[in-house]
Structure formats: C-alpha cells, structure tokens
Structure 1
Amino acid sequence: MKYFLLLFGSLTMAACQNMGKRLGNADSASLNSITTDTAEWITYTGKLPCADCEGIITTLTLHQQQKNPDFQFKMKETYQGMKSGKETTFSSEGTYSILRGNAIDPNATVIQLNPDKDRNLQRFFEQVGENELKMLDKDQHTIESSLNYSLKRVP
C-alpha cells in the first residue's frame, strides 16, 4: 500500500506539472494580445495582494525577440506598507511559455513564467480578454478571493 501511495503521488505531481500544452512559436504568434509581428514589449501592471503588507505593485513586461525563439519577460514587484516603513522592490527576468489549457478550462491561454526553473520560481497568469492577465495559483487554478489578482495592460 505504501508503494502504491508513493507511485500515485509521483504520477499526480507529474500530471500537474504538465497540465498545459505548450504552443509552438507559430501558434503562439497568433495570440495578438501577447505577441505581435513587431515583437514589441507589452506591459501589464496592477496591485496584487500581500499577506504582510498593504499590497504589491507588480509590473510584468512580455516580449518575444524576432531572432530568438525564446519568450522573454521582466517583472518588478514593489512591496508597499511594510512593517519596516520602507518599500522593498524586487526585479526578475527570464523566459516564459504560452500554454493552452489549465486545470479548469482546456481552452484557456496561460502564461507560465520560468518554465525551466524550479516549480517554486514559476508563476502562472491566465489571459482574460485582450487587456488583462489574472494570476493563478501554482496548480493553475483560479485564486478564489474577493481580492484583486489582475494585471491590466498599459496602453
């Protein structure tokens, strides 16, 4: 029984990690709201919830280089209202993938930050319309909350 549970747990984790299907560059280029033929940077921003501060001002910028098939991102997170009285800003950058489908909707378009890094460094955002990304939990589920988990596209 112990080995069955171990095998079942391993298979479940593998299934969750491969929930979405990665789109190839030809397919992903057709997602106009994320990438364009001119390969410009597209920025989304918003104030995300924080467990021990007033909120996290988050700016996520997405880009695909024409000569490089990797999708690149930059993210800046500023923690506001910290107990120390100071704002703390973290910047990160890396690659992202566009996935088709998530745990609930097989047709959802999901952006996975840091697909080739440790699961704790990955983040997921679902495209909601042309001008909004909504943060998902680590299992690509919608975060059930009355708090705002959306980033809006900057014109």
Structure 2
Amino acid sequence: MRHITFLIICIALFSCQNSKSKTGKTDSAIISNPNDTSVITTVTYSGTLPCADCEGIITDLTLTTNTDNKDYHFSMKETYLGKNQSFPSEGNFAVLQGTPADPAATIIQLNPDKDKNLQRYFKKVSENELKLLDSEMKTIESNHNYSLKKVQ
C-alpha cells in the first residue's frame, strides 16, 4: 500500500512540473478554454504614395485579423509631405478574390461597408507588398510607385 501511495505522489509531482506547454501557457489554461482557437494577426505596410499637390503621401496601413470572430480591421495614417498634415482613418476591410484583369488576384478592400468614395483597393503582389489599385480594381498606369512594403 505504501508503494502505491508513493507512486501516486510521484505521478502528481511529475504532472505539476510538466504543466507548461510549448506556447508557455499552463495546461490548466488550455483546458479551461479548450474552444479558444482564435488567432490575431497584425501586419503593417508602409510607403510613400504619389500626391497631386504635394511631394508624396507617407502611408502606414495596419491590417488586423481575428480568425475567431472573422473580424478584419484596418488603421491607416496618411501624412502629406510638405504640407505638415496627417489624416488617420480606420474601419473594416474585406479580402476579395479576383479582379477584371486577374481572376487569381487577392485584393484588400478597405471600407467595404461604406460609400464607394471611401473604399480603397490594394492588390497583394507578394507576402511583403501591396499595390494601390484604382476605384475599379484596375492597376494604375503610371511611372509613380503605388506600392506599400511590409514592415512588421
């Protein structure tokens, strides 16, 4: 009987020492919320976009995705060079598949739930680059740079 009690105590102590998982959370935290599969991802892109009446628009675009509740949120800050003006904006975004010219394209649509004049479209060129499109999701034909590069 002593051996069984000793064995149970050893197992209990061993279990307590190994209660950390690979994520750094304790097993009890994982067990207490086994349905929490949400993953929050935040990516920031930055670049200087062309401006009709200034030297350029420094644009910082942050996209935050929560897979648990399918929440897609953006925040953007546009700073007009030479004018000392900044304009922050935020809202929801949608991920669309395909454009008139490229059915396989992945498009980020800012403000899908707002007026067409407040919507913007960015084509995902690669994992590290987005390119601004016009209001009809077409490539802007210009010698200017319309790309934002991933910074985070």
User: How many angstroms apart in 2 are the aligned matches of 1:51 and 1:124?
Assistant: 19
User: Per-residue deviation at 1:66?
Assistant: 3.9
User: Per-residue deviation at 1:49?
Assistant: 0.3
Letter in 1 for 2:131: K
Larger Rg: 2
Identical-residue share of aligned pairs (%): 58
User: Per-residue deviation at 1:69?
Assistant: 1.5
- 1:138 maps to what in 2? 135
User: How many angstroms apart in 2 are the aligned matches of 1:108 and 1:96?
Assistant: 16
**Aligned length, in residue pairs:** 115
Question: Quick check: 2:95–2:109 contact (8 Å CA) kept in 1?
Answer: yes
Length-normalised TM-score, structure 2: 0.73
User: How many angstroms apart in 2 are the aligned matches of 1:108 and 1:90?
Assistant: 29
Uncovered stretches (5+) of structure 1, i.e. residues with no partner: 1-36
Residue 130 (structure 2) pairs with residue 129 (structure 1)? no
User: Per-residue deviation at 1:134?
Assistant: 0.1
Report the secondary structure of 1:41's partner residue: strand
RMSD: 1.1
User: Per-residue deviation at 1:39?
Assistant: 1.6
User: How many angstroms apart in 1 are the aligned matches of 2:61 and 2:72?
Assistant: 13
Question: Quick check: 2:62–2:74 contact (8 Å CA) kept in 1?
Answer: yes
User: How many angstroms apart in 2 are the aligned matches of 1:41 and 1:59?
Assistant: 13
Letter in 1 for 2:42: W
| 1:96-137 per-position Cα deviation (integer Å, ceiling 9, x unaligned) | 000000121000000000001000000000000110000000
Letter in 2 for 1:117: K
Length-normalised TM-score, structure 1: 0.71
User: How many angstroms apart in 2 are the aligned matches of 1:48 and 1:114?
Assistant: 19
Higher relative contact order at CA 8 Å, sep ≥6: structure 1 or structure 2? 1
User: Per-residue deviation at 1:81?
Assistant: 1.2
Uncovered stretches (5+) of structure 2, i.e. residues with no partner: 1-37
